[in-house]
Structure 1
């Protein structure tokens, strides 16, 4: 009994078993020998009981005197009074959520050679998420970061740029294109494409020098017949729009950009100052620098092969393009040198300049499941898409025998280059020309308290880089049916964010260089040393739609 508590607990059961054996042993021996020996007399039984009672009385009396008499026997164990809970000492997850709601900000990490991740630091690599001080207290409309430059659209719709590709000497973020009410942007290898709320698409060079020395555009003025000249060089992309139609979404690669209009039409244009798209990523069959029509190099071309489908989403990799129709069909065109279009790689023709339908029905049993693509994403030489799969009745099946009839499961698939683990399927391959399932993001579901049933967890958003990927899950953030009255009583949490792929420059935020071939969580950027020691809070995203701010 002098052993530590952990040992005494572990030793409790064997002691009880051995005691039971010692008590039962004489009776078992008696039972086995009663046919040979006569039964003991009642005097022997009375003597045995007397000795047992006497021994028990002696033991209790000795214990009574040794332990301090009546006070020790009658005293009760003291109940430790629980201290009141301090809101500042609650779990790290709640504190992090509360802090990010009250003080939104931007966190960056990865290679800082070109002063993009942290312009004020000389560190070449930022290993873990670090708060970007310039954007403290702001909720950005859009943010894009490349190796040599960064660009963001602030809450008031202004474009902010930084990085050595923007300026070799001044690393501080600087507002450039202002007063246009911008809502989103795309980065090419040398230009920024920005979309305003009224549908105007601006194209301007990344370099600060090129912005100041290039040709200036003429802008309208509040004074009639008194036009002004813009203070920096930019161009406006002008697709042939119908009456009442406007551009609603843009997506860009290294040399091209796609424009999606409110009527579901798609236009493409060159977006590089140095190179003209030559791998079919514009979606116009036979279009090259030599065959292009007369006019500016960044003339917009309608992708007429998609005219029969209402497109609702577009995505661009470095040299390939994707388009998703309203009825759940996905089209691809452009470079296929790593199988990023999801079809067999052909060395004699490594790209496809005409849009084609990417077949996903072959990924499922035709007679039992009905797939529908719900979202697409692209970047580098990779393609990702999510599929809602509905269980249907087979030809020879009876509805009464199919327990999951009508059930919808959500799967995520990927194809392209996976040497850094970018595919997210747990493998390392150079070329993946047939879609492979991302198991960590497939078949996931949760219980919906309001609907009182299991619902699939879909992809809310995905960002694909050249070597690494991040995904935001569309999980339920409210875990209670009750309406919250204040932030302290909130039962809401953030959307889960996962990262995977290359990690040579700590771009995954894990603090280590090892690549990740499967989606993984990273720790939240906790503020205090005490909270960092706990490490029981993972990085999540709080959306503007829920709280008016974001982390």
Structure 2
């Protein structure tokens, strides 16, 4: 039964009730719902309040018991008891220890800048760092690990400066300071746990690697084709030459073939070499290009030689790997060459780019045609179409290729202006980087996962970069000094401003720093050096050498030390040498080495 007070309030007209005595809208709704229910008499407001209070109190008690016994909690409120004198005597007050002051300006620079420390270490400890697939024992010779996730030194090369280095999943090759060939890896010999010198006395300067052979260029322009496998080097035919002692002859301990282009002019010699899986290109000092077979396993059949109609059946008499001049490039002064697995690029001094070979993925720079995936004649890329309607005049400045991809850089100069802003920028140069080919692994660096390229795509992260030049007091474009391309990944070294002249006479804030390096593409074997396995479709930085992944976010990124003549060793009292750091990408492998 409802209480008398509630009954009296309920009998008063609502218009005469004071606001404080009126039930809330929710209570009136609950009362109407209860009165219309057939289950019993209409509940009163007092019973509702009592039931609600009981439920709240029960819930609070349950929560306290659960916290006290199930979770091992303690009472929230405790009496405040002052500690006794013994407790105060035992308490120890901790103070932050003062940081160690640098004993010299050089030590202060080390603490101030990781970039300075990277440059310093490259001079004190020259050598080779490698990471990625170790299935062939190239990245970590003698180790049973299948992958190396972050940069690791190869002990054999500690303290050495190399003329050149090429790394692949199963094969490694280098040229030491003496010009001798050094090899290692499972493709060379599964019994060899450390690198070995295989070809001496040729004064080799550059290397290129095919599927099963090494193409080596000597300082005098001679080109040698050497089998990768140690067993083939020992069992194959060997060259015999006259000794310095009369009537004596010498036989080379290593089997190799000489690639000798015909019709070289007076004083003309080979100055550069590049190789795909089955073919190689030779560039002469007069801007002519020769192509040759670089593998003993297959004859090139995808037009990558640039010789129309040349096949195994139509080859001329003589050695199967004899060089042939690429007639389609005759008359152009070629200054750079590049090769992918089955395609070729050539760049002349006027900035014209030519391509030929396999175009199944658009790696030649134009859309593949159904039924005509191979092009055996050099074709010039219409670079002007890429800048149509921009009032920019493009000129290709460098090229690179590898796997199923091609890259080229362009200097685009503003030559016309249609508004005040464009007119004010007349003559300004934009340095752009373009990519084409297969990008399903992110190896184009454009941020897209493209299987086939219809046309070259600009890499935004490597284009339209600028910095302030204090020497000329103006903003200048940042170009690329080099692009290294592997099977499914690539890296770029920026040609940004560097500083390596810090000395004891300068301020401690005057620190050395090198060139930025970025990587992108396939990462299935940790070849990007990020410590993770996911592919990356845009260029990224990685942590400095000798540091763990993640440090690049907290400290600094990896930089490449530019060329400098220094005294090697920690004490700076070693031999004097001109040295720089270089980067190399192979099939699932990346390396940074000290280059002569």
How far has the Cα of 1:390 moved from its partner? 0.3
Q: Residues 83-94 of structure 1 correspond to what in structure 2 (within 5 A)? A: 84-86=101-103, 87=107, 89-94=111-116
How far has the Cα of 1:90 moved from its partner? 3.7
Aligned position for 2:149 = 127
Q: Residues 42-121 of structure 1 correspond to what in structure 2 (within 5 A)? A: 84-86=101-103, 87=107, 89-121=111-143
Q: Deviations over 1:73-125 (max 9, x none)?
A: xxxxxxx9986335154433322321221111211000101101100211100
2:173 is the counterpart of 1:151 = yes
Distance in 1 (CA, whole Å) between partners of 2:490 and 2:227 is 26
Aligned position for 1:340 = 363
Measured at CA, do residues 148 and 492 of structure 1 come closer, stay the same or move farther in structure 2, by a change above 3 Å?
same
Aligned position for 2:540 = 520
Asked which structure has the greater RCO (Cα within 8 Å, sep 6+), the reply is 2
Query: What is the root-mean-square deviation of aligned Cα atoms in Å?
Result: 2.4
Distance in 2 (CA, whole Å) between partners of 1:486 and 1:154 is 35
Distance in 1 (CA, whole Å) between partners of 2:249 and 2:400 is 41
How far has the Cα of 1:131 moved from its partner? 0.8
2:300 pairs with one of 277, 290, 302:
277
1:549 pairs with one of 551, 563, 579:
579
1:505 pairs with one of 518, 525, 541:
525
2:402 is the counterpart of 1:379 = yes
Aligned position for 1:227 = 249
Q: Deviations over 1:513-543 (max 9, x none)?
A: 011100011001236x899699512211113
SS in 1 for 2:199: coil
How far has the Cα of 1:275 moved from its partner? 0.2
Q: Deviations over 1:405-426 (max 9, x none)?
A: 0000100000000000000000
2:476 is the counterpart of 1:455 = yes
Measured at CA, do residues 398 and 534 of structure 1 come closer, stay the same or move farther in structure 2, by a change above 3 Å?
closer
Number of residue pairs the alignment of both structures matches: 468
Unaligned runs of 5+ in 1: 1-79
Distance in 1 (CA, whole Å) between partners of 2:507 and 2:293 is 48
Q: Answer with 1 or 2: which has the greater Rg.
A: 2
How far has the Cα of 1:399 moved from its partner? 8.4
Distance in 2 (CA, whole Å) between partners of 1:203 and 1:247 is 14
Aligned position for 2:348 = 325
Distance in 2 (CA, whole Å) between partners of 1:416 and 1:450 is 39
Measured at CA, do residues 401 and 105 of structure 1 come closer, stay the same or move farther in structure 2, by a change above 3 Å?
closer
SS in 1 for 2:455: strand
1:267 pairs with one of 285, 290, 293:
290
2:375 is the counterpart of 1:362 = no
Distance in 1 (CA, whole Å) between partners of 2:549 and 2:281 is 47
How far has the Cα of 1:544 moved from its partner? 3.3
Aligned position for 1:164 = 186
Distance in 2 (CA, whole Å) between partners of 1:288 and 1:389 is 40
SS in 2 for 1:176: strand
2:453 is the counterpart of 1:432 = yes
Q: Deviations over 1:344-376 (max 9, x none)?
A: 111201110000101110011357110000000
Distance in 2 (CA, whole Å) between partners of 1:520 and 1:401 is 32
Q: Deviations over 1:24-79 (max 9, x none)?
A: xxxxxxxxxxxxxxxxxxxxxxxxxxxxxxxxxxxxxxxxxxxxxxxxxxxxxxxx
Measured at CA, do residues 220 and 470 of structure 1 come closer, stay the same or move farther in structure 2, by a change above 3 Å?
farther
**TM-score, length of structure 2 as denominator length:** 0.75
Q: Residues 292-307 of structure 1 correspond to what in structure 2 (within 5 A)? A: 292-307=315-330
Aligned position for 2:514 = 494
**TM-score, length of structure 1 as denominator length:** 0.81
Distance in 1 (CA, whole Å) between partners of 2:175 and 2:404 is 26
How far has the Cα of 1:221 moved from its partner? 2.0
Unaligned runs of 5+ in 2: 1-96, 567-577, 582-596
Distance in 1 (CA, whole Å) between partners of 2:316 and 2:389 is 44
Distance in 2 (CA, whole Å) between partners of 1:445 and 1:530 is 28
State whether residues 416 and 422 of structure 2, in contact with CA within 8 Å, keep that contact through their aligned partners in structure 1: no
State whether residues 340 and 433 of structure 1, in contact with CA within 8 Å, keep that contact through their aligned partners in structure 2: no
SS in 2 for 1:434: coil
Q: Deviations over 1:310-365 (max 9, x none)?
A: 00000000000000000000000000000000111112011100001011100113
State whether residues 333 and 355 of structure 1, in contact with CA within 8 Å, keep that contact through their aligned partners in structure 2: yes
Aligned position for 2:271 = 248
